[in-house]
Amino acid sequence: MPVAHTHGVSFLFVSDHPALDFAATVAWRTTRPVELLGGPQDFARWAAEAGLVDRLETVSRADLISARALREAIHRLALAAAGGGPADPRDVARVRRAAAHPPVRPVLRDLGRVERRGGVREVLATLGAGAADLLGGPDRLLIRRCAGEPCTRLFLDRSRAGTRRWCSKRSCGSRVNAAAYRRRTQRHDHA
Ligand SMILES: [Zn+2]
């Protein structure tokens, strides 16, 4: 399936977990996949916007390929967790390898001021460690798929009743409701 690449998009952080937000940097996976990490600078920007690191100075093409490979492993594992399917041991090993490296360490400078310095390996280690905690622990049972097709974002359902349906009520929830409303009113017009 051809994958469209985009640059300069604004990233969404609505999955309630950095590893799931990372997995969502390919959008519309089942229909017309869009690669949001089209170039090394996109990954640098995503990592800073995600709050994982203050700045990623240099990201190479090879770094981007490693980042995408970790992302795809996390996505497949999270999807398996959401659907109750088996995990591919190669994906498990990839997350384990990423998490084996020291992560980005927060350095407290003052009240309200924390520095996060690191390179690509540290950022991937932070993501790998987060994914390990998520996928290895009970929160994996809270991973859901967004009901707002064609959105394929996974999120954590932390709602008390366990009834969260959309990655974001504002984008997917309102889009789905608007489409349902249009269908209802169109039927009404033709009646
Ligand atoms: Zn969605």
pLDDT of residue 179: 73
Q: How far is the CA of 69 from the centre of ligand 1 (A)?
A: 23
In this prediction, what percent of the chain has a pLDDT beyond 70? 94
pLDDT of residue 50: 97
Whether 120 and 56 have beta carbons less than 8 Å apart is answered as yes
Q: How far is the CA of 141 from the centre of ligand 1 (A)?
A: 18
pLDDT of residue 191: 44
Please state the domain count of the chain: 1
Q: How far is the CA of 153 from the centre of ligand 1 (A)?
A: 5
Q: How far is the CA of 102 from the centre of ligand 1 (A)?
A: 32
- Mean pLDDT computed over every residue of the chain: 92
| pLDDT tens string 65-82 | 999 999 999 999 999 999
- Domain range enclosing 157: 4-190
pLDDT of residue 173: 81
Lowest mean pLDDT among 2-16, 96-110, 128-142: 2-16
For the domain that residue 18 is a member of, what is the CATH number?
1.10.3300.10
What secondary structure does DSSP assign to the chain, as a single string?
---EE--SPPPP--SSSHHHHHHTTEESTTSS-EES--SHHHHHHHHHHTTS-S------HHHHHHHHHHHHHHHHHHHHHHHTPPPPHHHHHHHHHHHHS--PEEEEEETTEEEEE--HHHHHHHHHHHHHHHHHSGGGGGEEE-SSTT---EEE---TTS----S-IIIIIHHHHHHHHHHHHHHHHH-
| pLDDT tens string 108-156 | 999 999 999 999 999 999 999 999 999 999 999 999 999 998 999 999 9
Q: How far is the CA of 75 from the centre of ligand 1 (A)?
A: 15
